[in-house]
């Protein structure tokens, strides 16, 4: 029986970068899903039949705005049993992240970052089993 690929949750407000990254991660062997905001990401269940668990969440810093962002992020981390967290931020912007988020950020990636850079980051933090990994061309 083949192990289920881990899920990677992408929280990015811009549709096309999110869709392109999701497609690249799926091509590499991950089960990637996306949401435009934290509230939408909270709709995903921790357990889904026939799917692996969410093991990494990549969050665009633009998604961490608003009065509810900190509570929503904390709820998301709890729901998915403390996945690895990757923050995508602007090169010129100092990362401002909620201090009370359980666990530490696994990585902070500053823009400009290509889709390939983000896939490589996911692969470094969450390597796939050799039989599941697919090379990217």
What pLDDT does 97 receive? 59
What pLDDT does 37 receive? 96
> Within the chain, how many helices (H) and strands (E) appear?
4, 5
pLDDT tens, residue by residue, 81-114: 989 999 998 877 666 655 445 457 899 899 899 9
Tokens of 93: 């912007």
Residue 12, Cβ density class (10 Å: 0-12 exposed, 13-18 middle, ≥19 buried) = buried
Structural domain spans, the chain: 7-125
What pLDDT does 86 receive? 95
pLDDT tens, residue by residue, 11-26: 999 999 999 999 999 9
Q: CB of 61 within 8 A of CB of 95?
A: yes
Residue located via tokens 């692996």: 52
CA distances, 125 to each of 6, 37, 57, 67 (Å)? 12, 23, 11, 30
Strand stretches in 13-64, DSSP E:
31-35, 54-60
Higher pLDDT pick, 15 / 132: 15
What pLDDT does 102 receive? 47
Phi-psi region of 135 (alpha: psi -120 to 50; beta: other; left: phi over 0): beta
Fold (topology level) of 7-125: Rossmann fold (3.40.50)
pLDDT tens, residue by residue, 28-70: 999 999 999 999 999 999 888 999 999 999 999 999 888 898 8
């Amino acid at each position: 029986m083949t192990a289920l690929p881990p899920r990677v949750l992408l929280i990015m407000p811009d549709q096309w970068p999110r869709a392109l990254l999701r497609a690249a991660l799926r091509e590499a062997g991950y089960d990637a899903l996306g949401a435009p905001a934290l509230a939408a990401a909270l709709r995903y269940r921790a357990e889904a039949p026939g799917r692996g668990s969410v093991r990494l969440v990549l969050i665009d810093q633009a998604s961490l705005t608003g009065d509810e962002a900190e509570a929503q992020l904390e709820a998301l981390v709890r729901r998915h049993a403390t996945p690895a967290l990757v923050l995508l931020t602007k090169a010129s912007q100092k990362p401002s992240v909620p201090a009370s988020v359980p666990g530490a950020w696994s990585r902070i990636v500053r823009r400009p970052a290509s889709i390939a850079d983000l896939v490589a980051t996911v692969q470094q933090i969450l390597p796939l089993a050799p039989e599941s990994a697919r090379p990217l061309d």
